[in-house]
Amino acid sequence: MSINRNITDLSLSRIDGINQLSGGDNFVNATIAAAVIITIIAIPLALIHDRRRRKKMPDTKPFRWGYFNIYSSALFLVPLGAAIAFAALKTREISWPIVISLNLVIIILHYFAFRRSRAAFIIITLLSFNPLIWLINGFYLGRRWLEMTDEYQARRHLKSNATTKAAS
């Protein structure tokens, strides 16, 4: 009986240590609240974005899950990046150019992911550091791989036609 009590006491002391390290229940509550708020904002944005894209390209598959992932990532990373950049600027260290450069890279990746760039979508998926999202997005992107290639080629073709018409 005392062995079970000692194991329970040890487990509880570890949990208390983790709570103190992370800021306790306030940190957990804030994280859950942020996830809920991001989800509430990202869902309608993804639906609207996909509806607009499908009006322009009606023969394509829906990309709602992709847009949801991109918006969720952007809604999390952009404010976080801004806070980190602000904190880096406040310190006397010279790390702020690196932090700001990384934030710009993240913003550029999101821009290209919104344009359905396969490479940008893959990089953003990997930066989620979530193996479940890696698996889901791997299957999701696999089903849209050729379509996204065709869409990219069509955009390049339209752009070159517009340049040719403008030159003549």
pLDDT at 168: 65
- Per residue of the chain (168 residues), what is the pLDDT tens digit? 555 454 444 444 444 544 554 556 787 888 889 999 999 999 999 999 999 999 988 888 999 999 999 999 999 988 888 888 888 888 877 777 888 888 899 999 999 999 999 999 999 999 989 999 999 999 999 999 988 887 777 777 777 777 777 776
Distances (CA, A) of 22 to 28, 29, 34, 165: 8, 11, 16, 59
Amino acid at 139: F
* Residue 49 contacts residue 136 (beta carbons within 8 Å): no
Residues in the chain: 168
HEC secondary structure over 59-127? CCCCCHHHHHHHHHHHHHHHHHHHHHHHHHHHCCCCCHHHHHHHHHHHHHHHHHHHCCCHHHHHHHHHH
DSSP class of 23: T
Residues 75 and 44: beta-carbon distance below 8 Å: no
DSSP state, residue 58: T
Per the structure, how many domains does the chain have?
1
Nearest-CA neighbor of 73 among 33, 125, 29, 37? 125
Domain extent, residue 24, equals 2-167
Phi-psi region of 54 (alpha: psi -120 to 50; beta: other; left: phi over 0): alpha
